[in-house]
């Protein structure tokens, strides 16, 4: 695992695309799906946004939607983690780090098949407000929306470490 989950620095994201779920640990700033709307909002408040400072992962992909997800997934490849990797890391951190719950809770669920984004991120970021046209964005706990076999937070008896 190249990045380790660290609260308020990077986040764990579930992406559903073509009925398959993938997990990523990335910088939190790349997940505003409609950067054009976000930039417009900043400009309306009097801030100048220099597009040179947009993360390389999003350059040329200011709108993240069904038309751009393939290109974005290729860029994200090095940040992809398996359910098993996340589970091993959670078990290890649970025993060593009292902040493990915050570090290892998934923050975003983005379903490109159904065009929905659910955000359980606890900080000021408002990802659900920056979804593309035609998408649904919601501040919602989504753990139950994850297929059972992909729930890295469950032990062998299917009990949640988060409870």
Q: Are strands 10-17 and 108-111 parallel, antiparallel or unpaired?
A: parallel
Domain-located, residue 159: no
Domain-located, residue 22: yes
Domain-located, residue 86: yes
Q: Is the pTM of this model over 0.85?
A: yes
pLDDT at 149: 95
Of the candidates 39, 44, 20, the residue with the CA atom closest to the CA atom of residue 29:
39
CA-based max dimension of the chain? 53
Q: What is the pLDDT of residues 127-155, one digit of tens each?
A: 999 999 999 999 999 999 999 999 999 99
Q: How many CB atoms lie within 10 A of CB 42?
A: 12
pLDDT at 1 over 60: no
Task: Show Cβ contacts of residue 62 under 8 Å, excluding neighbours closer than 6 positions.
Answer: 34, 35, 36, 39, 54
Residue scoring higher pLDDT (73 or 59): 73
Domain-located, residue 158: no
Q: What is the mean pLDDT of residues 47-62?
A: 80
Domain-located, residue 97: yes
Name the domain count of the chain.
Answer: 1
In the sheet with 108-111, reading across from the earlier edge strand, the strands are: 80-81, 20-27, 10-17, 108-111, 116-119, 136-139
pLDDT at 81 over 90: yes
pLDDT at 23: 97
Domain boundaries, position 46 = 10-150
Of the candidates 142, 144, 152, 62, the residue with the CA atom closest to the CA atom of residue 110:
142
**Run of H or E including 36:** helix 35-44
pLDDT, averaged across the chain: 91
Domain-located, residue 160: no
Domain-located, residue 54: yes
Domain-located, residue 5: no
Q: What is the pLDDT of residues 25-43, one digit of tens each?
A: 999 989 999 988 888 888 8
Q: What is the mean pLDDT of residues 48-59?
A: 76
């Amino acid at each position: 695992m190249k990045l380790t989950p660290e609260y308020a620095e990077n986040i764990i994201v579930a992406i559903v695309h073509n009925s398959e779920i993938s997990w990523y640990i990335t910088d939190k700033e790349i997940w505003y799906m409609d950067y054009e709307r976000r930039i417009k909002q900043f400009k309306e408040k009097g801030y100048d946004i220099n597009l040179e400072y947009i993360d390389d992962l999003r350059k040329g992909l200011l709108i993240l939607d069904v038309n751009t997800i393939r290109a974005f997934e290729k860029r994200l490849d090095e940040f992809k983690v398996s359910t098993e990797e996340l589970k091993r890391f959670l078990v290890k951190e649970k025993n060593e780090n009292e902040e493990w719950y915050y570090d290892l809770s998934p923050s975003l669920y983005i379903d490109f098949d159904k065009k929905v984004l659910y955000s359980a991120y606890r900080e000021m970021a408002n990802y659900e407000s920056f979804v593309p046209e035609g998408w649904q964005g919601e501040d919602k706990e989504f753990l139950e929306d994850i297929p059972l076999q992909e729930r890295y937070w469950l032990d062998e008896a299917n009990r949640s470490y988060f409870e």
